[in-house]
Protein backbone atom coordinates (compact mmCIF):
# COMPACT_ATOMS: atom_id res chain seq x y z
CA UNK A 1 0.00 0.00 0.00
CA UNK A 2 1.49 3.35 -1.08
CA UNK A 3 0.19 6.74 0.08
CA UNK A 4 1.43 9.95 -1.54
CA UNK A 5 1.16 12.94 0.74
CA UNK A 6 3.09 15.99 -0.44
CA UNK A 7 5.77 13.84 -2.04
CA UNK A 8 6.19 11.77 1.14
CA UNK A 9 5.84 8.03 0.57
CA UNK A 10 4.83 5.66 3.36
CA UNK A 11 5.22 2.02 2.36
CA UNK A 12 3.92 -0.68 4.71
CA UNK A 13 3.98 -4.39 4.08
CA UNK A 14 0.53 -5.80 4.80
CA UNK A 15 1.06 -9.43 3.72
CA UNK A 16 3.06 -11.17 6.48
CA UNK A 17 2.46 -14.58 4.87
CA UNK A 18 4.15 -13.53 1.66
CA UNK A 19 7.04 -11.92 3.54
CA UNK A 20 7.53 -15.11 5.51
CA UNK A 21 7.63 -17.28 2.37
CA UNK A 22 10.08 -14.96 0.62
CA UNK A 23 12.32 -14.92 3.70
CA UNK A 24 12.32 -18.73 3.80
CA UNK A 25 13.38 -18.83 0.15
CA UNK A 26 16.26 -16.41 0.79
CA UNK A 27 17.41 -18.41 3.81
CA UNK A 28 17.29 -21.64 1.80
CA UNK A 29 19.24 -20.15 -1.10
CA UNK A 30 21.88 -18.79 1.25
CA UNK A 31 22.20 -22.16 2.98
CA UNK A 32 22.55 -24.03 -0.34
CA UNK A 33 25.23 -21.62 -1.55
CA UNK A 34 27.10 -21.73 1.74
CA UNK A 35 26.60 -18.01 2.26
CA UNK A 36 25.97 -16.22 5.55
CA UNK A 37 22.28 -16.15 6.50
CA UNK A 38 20.83 -12.75 7.28
CA UNK A 39 19.45 -12.74 10.87
CA UNK A 40 16.60 -10.49 9.74
CA UNK A 41 15.54 -13.07 7.12
CA UNK A 42 15.83 -15.82 9.71
CA UNK A 43 13.59 -13.88 12.12
CA UNK A 44 11.11 -13.06 9.35
CA UNK A 45 10.95 -16.71 8.23
CA UNK A 46 9.96 -17.73 11.76
CA UNK A 47 7.22 -15.13 11.98
CA UNK A 48 9.10 -12.94 14.46
CA UNK A 49 8.83 -9.83 12.29
CA UNK A 50 5.50 -8.26 13.15
CA UNK A 51 5.59 -5.23 10.89
CA UNK A 52 7.86 -3.45 8.46
CA UNK A 53 7.46 0.13 7.34
CA UNK A 54 9.40 2.42 5.06
CA UNK A 55 9.28 6.22 5.21
CA UNK A 56 10.81 8.48 2.60
CA UNK A 57 10.90 12.12 1.61
CA UNK A 58 12.12 10.99 -1.83
CA UNK A 59 9.83 10.99 -4.85
CA UNK A 60 10.19 10.01 -8.50
CA UNK A 61 10.40 13.71 -9.33
CA UNK A 62 13.97 13.70 -8.00
CA UNK A 63 15.12 11.38 -10.79
CA UNK A 64 13.22 13.36 -13.40
CA UNK A 65 14.77 16.60 -12.15
CA UNK A 66 18.24 15.00 -12.19
CA UNK A 67 17.86 13.94 -15.83
CA UNK A 68 16.46 17.34 -16.79
CA UNK A 69 19.51 19.00 -15.21
CA UNK A 70 21.80 16.61 -17.08
CA UNK A 71 19.98 17.35 -20.34
CA UNK A 72 20.27 21.08 -19.76
CA UNK A 73 23.96 20.68 -19.03
CA UNK A 74 24.50 18.85 -22.31
CA UNK A 75 22.43 21.38 -24.25
CA UNK A 76 24.38 24.24 -22.65
CA UNK A 77 27.61 22.88 -24.12
CA UNK A 78 28.31 20.39 -21.38
CA UNK A 79 28.04 22.89 -18.55
CA UNK A 80 30.19 21.45 -15.70
CA UNK A 81 28.00 22.85 -12.93
CA UNK A 82 24.74 21.44 -14.30
CA UNK A 83 26.30 18.09 -15.13
CA UNK A 84 27.84 17.82 -11.66
CA UNK A 85 24.55 18.72 -10.02
CA UNK A 86 22.65 16.09 -12.01
CA UNK A 87 25.21 13.40 -11.32
CA UNK A 88 25.28 14.24 -7.60
CA UNK A 89 21.49 13.95 -7.38
CA UNK A 90 21.56 10.53 -9.07
CA UNK A 91 24.37 9.36 -6.80
CA UNK A 92 22.49 10.51 -3.69
CA UNK A 93 19.40 8.59 -4.80
CA UNK A 94 21.41 5.46 -5.62
CA UNK A 95 23.47 5.49 -2.42
CA UNK A 96 20.44 6.20 -0.24
CA UNK A 97 18.44 3.38 -1.84
CA UNK A 98 21.21 0.81 -1.37
CA UNK A 99 21.92 2.01 2.17
CA UNK A 100 18.23 1.83 3.06
CA UNK A 101 17.95 -1.75 1.79
CA UNK A 102 21.01 -2.87 3.78
CA UNK A 103 20.51 -0.75 6.92
CA UNK A 104 18.82 -3.39 9.10
CA UNK A 105 20.56 -6.35 7.51
CA UNK A 106 22.72 -8.11 10.09
CA UNK A 107 21.43 -5.98 12.97
CA UNK A 108 20.63 -7.99 16.09
CA UNK A 109 19.18 -7.05 19.46
CA UNK A 110 19.60 -9.24 22.52
CA UNK A 111 18.55 -8.95 26.17
CA UNK A 112 20.28 -10.73 29.02
CA UNK A 113 19.42 -10.63 32.73
CA UNK A 114 21.39 -11.27 35.86
CA UNK A 115 18.27 -13.13 37.09
CA UNK A 116 14.78 -13.77 35.76
CA UNK A 117 13.02 -14.86 38.99
CA UNK A 118 12.86 -12.26 41.75
CA UNK A 119 10.73 -11.05 44.62
CA UNK A 120 8.92 -7.68 44.59
CA UNK A 121 11.28 -4.73 44.79
CA UNK A 122 14.45 -6.66 43.96
CA UNK A 123 16.48 -5.02 41.17
CA UNK A 124 17.02 -6.82 37.88
CA UNK A 125 19.91 -5.78 35.67
CA UNK A 126 19.07 -6.03 31.99
CA UNK A 127 21.95 -5.85 29.52
CA UNK A 128 21.04 -4.89 25.96
CA UNK A 129 23.46 -6.01 23.26
CA UNK A 130 23.14 -4.46 19.78
CA UNK A 131 25.38 -5.71 16.98
CA UNK A 132 25.89 -4.54 13.40
CA UNK A 133 27.11 -7.77 11.79
CA UNK A 134 27.93 -6.45 8.31
CA UNK A 135 30.56 -4.41 6.51
CA UNK A 136 28.33 -1.35 6.11
CA UNK A 137 28.46 1.11 9.04
CA UNK A 138 25.31 2.68 10.46
CA UNK A 139 25.28 6.42 10.96
CA UNK A 140 22.19 6.13 13.10
CA UNK A 141 20.15 3.32 14.60
CA UNK A 142 17.29 3.56 17.07
CA UNK A 143 15.96 0.65 19.14
CA UNK A 144 12.61 0.93 20.90
CA UNK A 145 11.97 -1.77 23.48
CA UNK A 146 8.53 -2.13 25.07
CA UNK A 147 8.73 -2.66 28.83
CA UNK A 148 6.03 -3.28 31.44
CA UNK A 149 7.59 -0.78 33.89
CA UNK A 150 9.70 2.33 33.70
CA UNK A 151 13.44 1.53 33.70
CA UNK A 152 15.83 3.12 36.14
CA UNK A 153 19.02 4.16 34.36
CA UNK A 154 21.29 7.11 33.69
CA UNK A 155 23.72 5.59 31.19
CA UNK A 156 21.48 5.50 28.12
CA UNK A 157 21.98 8.08 25.38
CA UNK A 158 18.31 8.58 24.75
CA UNK A 159 15.57 7.21 26.97
CA UNK A 160 11.90 7.94 26.68
CA UNK A 161 9.38 6.39 29.03
CA UNK A 162 5.92 6.93 27.65
CA UNK A 163 2.97 5.25 29.29
CA UNK A 164 0.62 3.80 26.69
CA UNK A 165 -1.84 1.24 28.06
CA UNK A 166 0.48 0.47 30.96
CA UNK A 167 3.55 0.06 28.73
CA UNK A 168 6.80 1.99 28.60
CA UNK A 169 9.16 2.46 25.69
CA UNK A 170 12.92 2.37 26.23
CA UNK A 171 14.64 4.11 23.29
CA UNK A 172 18.35 3.66 22.68
CA UNK A 173 20.20 5.48 19.88
CA UNK A 174 23.40 4.14 18.34
CA UNK A 175 26.01 4.92 15.72
CA UNK A 176 27.77 1.66 14.86
CA UNK A 177 30.85 0.85 12.85
CA UNK A 178 31.05 -2.27 10.71
CA UNK A 179 31.06 -5.48 12.83
CA UNK A 180 30.63 -3.46 16.03
CA UNK A 181 28.75 -4.58 19.13
CA UNK A 182 27.57 -2.30 21.93
CA UNK A 183 26.33 -3.26 25.42
CA UNK A 184 24.17 -1.08 27.63
CA UNK A 185 22.71 -1.90 31.03
CA UNK A 186 19.50 -0.75 32.65
CA UNK A 187 17.97 -1.61 36.01
CA UNK A 188 14.39 -2.79 36.40
CA UNK A 189 12.48 -3.04 39.67
CA UNK A 190 9.09 -4.74 39.71
CA UNK A 191 6.83 -3.60 42.58
CA UNK A 192 4.29 -6.45 42.58
CA UNK A 193 4.22 -10.15 41.78
CA UNK A 194 3.33 -11.39 38.34
CA UNK A 195 4.58 -12.54 34.95
CA UNK A 196 6.05 -9.56 33.09
CA UNK A 197 6.63 -9.73 29.33
CA UNK A 198 9.24 -7.49 27.71
CA UNK A 199 8.90 -6.73 24.02
CA UNK A 200 8.35 -6.45 21.14
CA UNK A 201 11.34 -4.49 19.80
CA UNK A 202 11.29 -1.92 16.99
CA UNK A 203 14.37 -1.36 14.83
CA UNK A 204 14.68 1.91 12.94
CA UNK A 205 17.48 3.12 10.69
CA UNK A 206 18.10 4.70 7.30
CA UNK A 207 20.63 6.16 4.92
CA UNK A 208 23.33 8.68 5.67
CA UNK A 209 21.36 11.48 3.98
CA UNK A 210 18.18 10.67 5.99
CA UNK A 211 16.15 10.48 2.79
CA UNK A 212 14.90 6.98 3.58
CA UNK A 213 13.87 5.43 6.89
CA UNK A 214 13.06 1.76 7.42
CA UNK A 215 11.32 0.49 10.55
CA UNK A 216 10.84 -3.12 11.55
CA UNK A 217 9.09 -4.62 14.60
CA UNK A 218 10.32 -7.96 15.94
CA UNK A 219 8.28 -10.21 18.21
CA UNK A 220 11.24 -10.68 20.53
CA UNK A 221 9.82 -11.38 23.98
CA UNK A 222 11.41 -12.03 27.37
CA UNK A 223 9.70 -12.93 30.63
CA UNK A 224 10.49 -11.90 34.21
CA UNK A 225 8.76 -13.84 36.99
CA UNK A 226 8.14 -11.90 40.19
CA UNK A 227 7.24 -14.14 43.12
CA UNK A 228 4.67 -13.10 45.72
CA UNK A 229 5.91 -11.64 48.96
CA UNK A 230 6.80 -14.17 51.66
CA UNK A 231 6.25 -13.35 55.32
CA UNK A 232 7.26 -15.20 58.45
CA UNK A 233 4.75 -16.76 60.82
CA UNK A 234 5.47 -14.03 63.35
CA UNK A 235 4.69 -11.33 60.79
CA UNK A 236 1.40 -13.05 60.02
CA UNK A 237 0.54 -13.32 63.71
CA UNK A 238 0.73 -17.14 63.75
CA UNK A 239 2.44 -19.23 66.41
CA UNK A 240 6.00 -20.08 65.45
CA UNK A 241 5.75 -23.60 66.91
CA UNK A 242 3.22 -26.10 65.58
CA UNK A 243 0.96 -23.55 63.85
CA UNK A 244 -1.23 -26.34 62.49
CA UNK A 245 -1.88 -28.02 65.81
CA UNK A 246 -0.33 -30.99 67.61
CA UNK A 247 1.29 -33.35 65.09
CA UNK A 248 2.02 -36.24 67.47
CA UNK A 249 -0.41 -38.86 66.28
CA UNK A 250 -0.08 -42.58 65.92
CA UNK A 251 2.95 -43.73 64.00
CA UNK A 252 0.88 -46.08 61.85
CA UNK A 253 -0.72 -43.09 60.23
CA UNK A 254 2.72 -41.82 59.24
CA UNK A 255 3.91 -44.98 57.51
CA UNK A 256 5.13 -44.68 53.96
CA UNK A 257 3.27 -47.19 51.72
CA UNK A 258 6.05 -46.99 49.12
CA UNK A 259 8.87 -48.21 51.41
CA UNK A 260 8.33 -51.77 52.71
CA UNK A 261 10.63 -52.70 55.61
CA UNK A 262 9.63 -56.33 56.23
CA UNK A 263 6.64 -58.68 56.51
CA UNK A 264 4.90 -60.41 59.43
CA UNK A 265 1.98 -62.71 60.02
CA UNK A 266 -1.43 -61.28 59.22
CA UNK A 267 -3.47 -59.96 62.18
CA UNK A 268 -7.21 -59.24 62.27
CA UNK A 269 -6.71 -55.48 62.62
CA UNK A 270 -4.51 -55.29 59.50
CA UNK A 271 -5.88 -53.79 56.31
CA UNK A 272 -6.52 -56.24 53.51
CA UNK A 273 -4.67 -54.04 51.01
CA UNK A 274 -1.47 -54.39 53.08
CA UNK A 275 -1.28 -58.15 52.46
CA UNK A 276 2.00 -59.18 50.80
CA UNK A 277 0.79 -61.74 48.30
CA UNK A 278 4.20 -62.97 47.13
CA UNK A 279 5.32 -63.68 50.73
CA UNK A 280 1.94 -65.30 51.40
CA UNK A 281 2.41 -67.65 48.42
CA UNK A 282 5.90 -68.63 49.60
CA UNK A 283 4.98 -69.27 53.25
CA UNK A 284 1.46 -70.58 52.76
CA UNK A 285 0.04 -68.14 55.32
CA UNK A 286 -1.20 -64.57 55.04
CA UNK A 287 1.64 -62.07 55.44
CA UNK A 288 1.30 -58.33 56.03
CA UNK A 289 3.68 -55.59 54.89
CA UNK A 290 5.47 -53.50 57.50
CA UNK A 291 6.21 -50.01 56.18
CA UNK A 292 8.99 -47.64 57.10
CA UNK A 293 7.78 -44.64 59.10
CA UNK A 294 7.35 -41.49 57.07
CA UNK A 295 10.03 -38.82 57.51
CA UNK A 296 7.59 -35.96 57.27
CA UNK A 297 4.07 -34.81 56.65
CA UNK A 298 2.26 -33.37 53.65
CA UNK A 299 0.88 -29.85 53.48
CA UNK A 300 -1.80 -29.00 50.92
CA UNK A 301 -2.39 -25.25 50.62
CA UNK A 302 -5.75 -24.26 49.14
CA UNK A 303 -6.08 -20.66 47.99
CA UNK A 304 -9.37 -18.90 47.40
CA UNK A 305 -8.75 -16.00 44.99
CA UNK A 306 -12.29 -14.72 45.44
CA UNK A 307 -12.51 -11.66 47.67
CA UNK A 308 -16.29 -11.33 47.45
CA UNK A 309 -19.05 -13.73 48.34
CA UNK A 310 -20.17 -13.65 44.71
CA UNK A 311 -16.84 -13.78 42.93
CA UNK A 312 -18.33 -12.92 39.54
CA UNK A 313 -19.19 -9.40 40.76
CA UNK A 314 -15.58 -8.26 41.06
CA UNK A 315 -12.61 -8.47 43.38
CA UNK A 316 -10.33 -6.45 45.64
CA UNK A 317 -6.81 -6.42 44.15
CA UNK A 318 -5.06 -5.61 47.45
CA UNK A 319 -6.98 -8.30 49.31
CA UNK A 320 -6.24 -10.92 46.67
CA UNK A 321 -2.54 -10.05 46.70
CA UNK A 322 -2.48 -10.45 50.47
CA UNK A 323 -4.14 -13.87 50.21
CA UNK A 324 -1.60 -14.97 47.61
CA UNK A 325 1.22 -13.75 49.84
CA UNK A 326 -0.14 -15.74 52.80
CA UNK A 327 -0.46 -18.87 50.66
CA UNK A 328 3.15 -18.46 49.50
CA UNK A 329 4.27 -18.00 53.11
CA UNK A 330 2.53 -21.23 54.14
CA UNK A 331 4.17 -23.14 51.31
CA UNK A 332 7.57 -21.70 52.21
CA UNK A 333 7.13 -22.72 55.85
CA UNK A 334 6.22 -26.28 54.84
CA UNK A 335 9.24 -26.62 52.58
CA UNK A 336 11.48 -25.30 55.37
CA UNK A 337 10.15 -28.08 57.63
CA UNK A 338 10.99 -30.70 55.04
CA UNK A 339 7.35 -31.54 54.32
CA UNK A 340 5.79 -32.42 51.04
CA UNK A 341 3.94 -29.28 49.92
CA UNK A 342 1.29 -28.82 47.25
CA UNK A 343 -0.84 -25.93 46.04
CA UNK A 344 -4.43 -25.82 44.82
CA UNK A 345 -6.12 -22.57 43.83
CA UNK A 346 -9.42 -21.78 42.16
CA UNK A 347 -7.64 -19.01 40.25
CA UNK A 348 -6.33 -19.60 36.76
CA UNK A 349 -3.27 -18.90 34.67
CA UNK A 350 -3.46 -16.05 32.14
CA UNK A 351 -5.49 -16.96 29.05
CA UNK A 352 -6.67 -20.16 30.70
CA UNK A 353 -9.82 -21.36 32.44
CA UNK A 354 -8.22 -24.25 34.35
CA UNK A 355 -7.59 -24.06 38.11
CA UNK A 356 -4.06 -24.14 39.48
CA UNK A 357 -2.81 -27.52 40.68
CA UNK A 358 0.68 -28.30 41.96
CA UNK A 359 0.57 -31.82 43.46
CA UNK A 360 2.42 -32.28 46.76
CA UNK A 361 6.08 -33.17 46.47
CA UNK A 362 9.46 -32.89 48.13
CA UNK A 363 11.62 -32.20 45.10
CA UNK A 364 14.20 -29.38 45.36
CA UNK A 365 12.25 -27.38 42.78
CA UNK A 366 8.85 -27.80 44.45
CA UNK A 367 8.85 -24.36 46.06
CA UNK A 368 9.87 -22.78 42.73
CA UNK A 369 6.93 -24.44 40.98
CA UNK A 370 4.52 -23.23 43.66
CA UNK A 371 5.81 -19.65 43.63
CA UNK A 372 5.70 -19.53 39.83
CA UNK A 373 2.09 -20.72 39.89
CA UNK A 374 1.18 -18.06 42.45
CA UNK A 375 3.02 -15.39 40.44
CA UNK A 376 0.86 -16.18 37.41
CA UNK A 377 -2.45 -16.54 39.27
CA UNK A 378 -5.25 -14.27 38.05
CA UNK A 379 -8.38 -13.07 39.80
CA UNK A 380 -10.64 -15.21 37.60
CA UNK A 381 -12.20 -17.85 39.87
CA UNK A 382 -12.84 -21.05 37.94
CA UNK A 383 -15.00 -22.61 40.67
CA UNK A 384 -15.90 -22.29 44.32
CA UNK A 385 -13.10 -23.24 46.67
CA UNK A 386 -15.31 -25.49 48.81
CA UNK A 387 -16.08 -27.76 45.86
CA UNK A 388 -12.43 -27.79 44.88
CA UNK A 389 -11.35 -28.92 48.35
CA UNK A 390 -13.90 -31.74 48.41
CA UNK A 391 -12.89 -32.81 44.89
CA UNK A 392 -9.12 -32.75 45.46
CA UNK A 393 -8.94 -34.12 49.02
CA UNK A 394 -9.37 -37.83 48.04
CA UNK A 395 -6.20 -37.57 45.95
CA UNK A 396 -4.14 -36.30 48.90
CA UNK A 397 -2.19 -38.57 51.29
CA UNK A 398 -4.17 -39.42 54.36
CA UNK A 399 -1.70 -37.68 56.67
CA UNK A 400 -2.02 -34.41 54.78
CA UNK A 401 -2.80 -31.15 56.51
CA UNK A 402 -5.22 -29.05 54.49
CA UNK A 403 -4.70 -25.30 54.90
CA UNK A 404 -7.31 -22.98 53.40
CA UNK A 405 -6.35 -19.35 52.79
CA UNK A 406 -9.41 -17.23 52.03
CA UNK A 407 -10.56 -13.63 52.30
CA UNK A 408 -14.22 -14.61 52.64
CA UNK A 409 -15.72 -17.39 54.73
CA UNK A 410 -19.11 -18.50 53.41
CA UNK A 411 -21.51 -21.09 54.75
CA UNK A 412 -20.49 -23.45 51.95
CA UNK A 413 -16.83 -23.16 52.97
CA UNK A 414 -17.71 -23.90 56.60
CA UNK A 415 -19.68 -26.98 55.60
CA UNK A 416 -16.81 -28.24 53.44
CA UNK A 417 -14.32 -27.77 56.29
CA UNK A 418 -16.56 -29.67 58.68
CA UNK A 419 -16.96 -32.51 56.18
CA UNK A 420 -13.20 -32.82 55.82
CA UNK A 421 -12.68 -32.66 59.56
CA UNK A 422 -15.33 -35.31 60.22
CA UNK A 423 -13.65 -37.53 57.63
CA UNK A 424 -10.49 -37.48 59.74
CA UNK A 425 -8.59 -34.80 57.88
CA UNK A 426 -6.45 -32.23 59.63
CA UNK A 427 -7.92 -28.88 58.51
CA UNK A 428 -6.65 -25.33 59.14
CA UNK A 429 -8.48 -22.13 58.20
CA UNK A 430 -6.63 -18.86 57.63
CA UNK A 431 -9.18 -16.07 57.32
CA UNK A 432 -8.21 -12.66 55.95
CA UNK A 433 -11.62 -11.12 56.51
CA UNK A 434 -12.08 -8.13 58.79
CA UNK A 435 -14.17 -10.12 61.24
CA UNK A 436 -12.96 -13.05 63.33
CA UNK A 437 -13.40 -16.58 61.92
CA UNK A 438 -16.89 -17.92 62.62
CA UNK A 439 -17.52 -20.22 65.56
CA UNK A 440 -19.00 -23.67 65.29
CA UNK A 441 -16.14 -25.24 63.30
CA UNK A 442 -15.45 -27.89 65.91
CA UNK A 443 -11.81 -29.02 65.99
CA UNK A 444 -10.86 -27.09 62.86
CA UNK A 445 -7.80 -24.95 63.65
CA UNK A 446 -8.67 -21.36 62.76
CA UNK A 447 -6.54 -18.23 62.55
CA UNK A 448 -7.40 -14.64 61.82
CA UNK A 449 -4.87 -12.81 59.64
CA UNK A 450 -6.23 -9.27 59.14
CA UNK A 451 -5.27 -7.96 55.73
CA UNK A 452 -5.64 -4.28 56.53
CA UNK A 453 -7.73 -3.84 53.37
CA UNK A 454 -11.33 -2.62 53.85
CA UNK A 455 -13.73 -5.38 52.95
CA UNK A 456 -16.39 -5.03 50.31
CA UNK A 457 -19.06 -5.73 52.90
CA UNK A 458 -18.03 -2.68 54.93
CA UNK A 459 -17.94 -0.63 51.74
CA UNK A 460 -21.44 -1.77 50.80
CA UNK A 461 -22.72 -1.02 54.31
CA UNK A 462 -21.22 2.46 54.21
CA UNK A 463 -22.71 3.07 50.78
CA UNK A 464 -26.12 1.89 51.91
CA UNK A 465 -25.91 4.09 55.02
CA UNK A 466 -25.09 7.14 52.91
CA UNK A 467 -27.89 6.26 50.51
CA UNK A 468 -30.53 6.16 53.29
CA UNK A 469 -29.12 8.99 55.40
CA UNK A 470 -31.32 12.14 55.09
CA UNK A 471 -29.66 15.10 53.44
CA UNK A 472 -29.99 18.29 55.43
CA UNK A 473 -29.96 20.29 52.22
CA UNK A 474 -32.69 18.25 50.55
CA UNK A 475 -36.01 20.08 50.11
CA UNK A 476 -38.97 18.64 52.02
CA UNK A 477 -42.57 18.78 50.83
CA UNK A 478 -44.01 22.15 51.63
CA UNK A 479 -40.66 23.96 51.58
CA UNK A 480 -40.55 27.08 49.51
Q: What pLDDT digit, counting tens, does each position of 348-368 carry?
A: 888 888 899 999 998 889 999
User: What pLDDT score was predicted for residue 453?
Assistant: 61
Residue 430: name the closest of 263, 243, 285, 269 by CA: 243
This prediction has a pTM of 0.72
User: What pLDDT score was predicted for residue 385?
Assistant: 95
User: How many helices and strands, by DSSP H and E, does the chain display?
Assistant: 11, 21
User: What pLDDT score was predicted for residue 478?
Assistant: 40
User: What pLDDT score was predicted for residue 356?
Assistant: 95
User: What pLDDT score was predicted for residue 319?
Assistant: 94
User: What pLDDT score was predicted for residue 343?
Assistant: 97
User: What pLDDT score was predicted for residue 77?
Assistant: 83
Task: List the domain boundaries for the chain.
Answer: 2-102, 107-226, 254-293, 298-463
Residue 385: name the closest of 415, 358, 361, 359 by CA: 415
CB 399 within 8 A of CB 254: yes
User: What pLDDT score was predicted for residue 355?
Assistant: 92
Residue 408: name the closest of 380, 377, 378, 430 by CA: 430
Residue 200: name the closest of 184, 215, 221, 182 by CA: 221
Of the chain, the percentage scoring pLDDT greater than 90 comes to 42
Terminal Cα-to-Cα distance of the chain (whole angstroms): 69
- Tens digits of pLDDT across the chain (480 residues): 333 333 333 334 445 567 677 777 777 777 777 777 776 677 666 656 666 777 766 666 777 888 888 888 888 888 888 888 888 888 888 888 888 888 998 999 999 999 999 999 999 999 999 999 999 999 999 999 999 988 875 544 434 444 445 678 899 999 999 999 999 999 999 999 999 999 999 999 988 887 888 898 988 999 999 999 999 999 999 998 888 876 544 444 445 555 566 788 888 777 777 788 888 888 888 888 775 444 458 999 999 999 988 877 778 999 999 999 999 999 999 999 989 999 999 998 888 888 999 999 988 899 999 999 999 999 989 889 999 999 999 999 888 999 999 999 999 999 999 999 999 899 999 999 888 887 777 789 999 998 776 544 444 443 334 333 433 333 333 443
Within 10 angstroms of residue 276's Cβ, the number of other Cβ atoms is: 19
Before 200, cis peptide (omega within 30)? Answer: yes
Dist CA 283 CA 274 (whole Å) = 16
User: What pLDDT score was predicted for residue 46?
Assistant: 62
Dist CA 393 CA 300 (whole Å) = 9
User: What pLDDT score was predicted for residue 293?
Assistant: 47
User: What pLDDT score was predicted for residue 477?
Assistant: 36
Phi, psi of 403 (to 5 degrees): -115, 120
Domain 298-463 sits in CATH 3.40.720: no
Q: Which fold has domain 107-226?
A: Immunoglobulin-like (2.60.40)
**Would you call 418 helix, strand, or coil by DSSP?**
helix
User: What pLDDT score was predicted for residue 438?
Assistant: 78
Q: What share of the chain is helix, strand, coil (3-state, %, to 5)?
A: 30, 30, 35
User: What pLDDT score was predicted for residue 193?
Assistant: 96
User: What pLDDT score was predicted for residue 39?
Assistant: 66
- CA distances (Å), 138 to each of 106, 151, 174, in order? 11, 26, 8
User: What pLDDT score was predicted for residue 241?
Assistant: 80
CB-based contacts of 224: which residues, under 8 Å, 6+ apart?
A: 113, 116, 117, 118, 124, 188, 190, 195, 196, 198
Using only the alpha carbons of the chain, give its radius of gyration: 34
User: What pLDDT score was predicted for residue 465?
Assistant: 40
Amino acid sequence: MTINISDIYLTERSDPGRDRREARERVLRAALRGEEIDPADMARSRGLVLREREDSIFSDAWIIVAFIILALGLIAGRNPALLALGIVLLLIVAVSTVWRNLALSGVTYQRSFDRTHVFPGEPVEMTVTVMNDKSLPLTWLRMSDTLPISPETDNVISQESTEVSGKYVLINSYSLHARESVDRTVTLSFPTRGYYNLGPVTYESGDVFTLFTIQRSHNYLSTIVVYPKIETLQELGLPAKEPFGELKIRTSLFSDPIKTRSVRDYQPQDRFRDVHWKATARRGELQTKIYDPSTGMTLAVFLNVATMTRHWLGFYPELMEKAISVAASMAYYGVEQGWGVGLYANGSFPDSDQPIRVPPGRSPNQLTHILEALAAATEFATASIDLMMLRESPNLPWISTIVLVTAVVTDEIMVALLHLQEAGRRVVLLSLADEEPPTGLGHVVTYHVPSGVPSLQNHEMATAKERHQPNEFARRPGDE
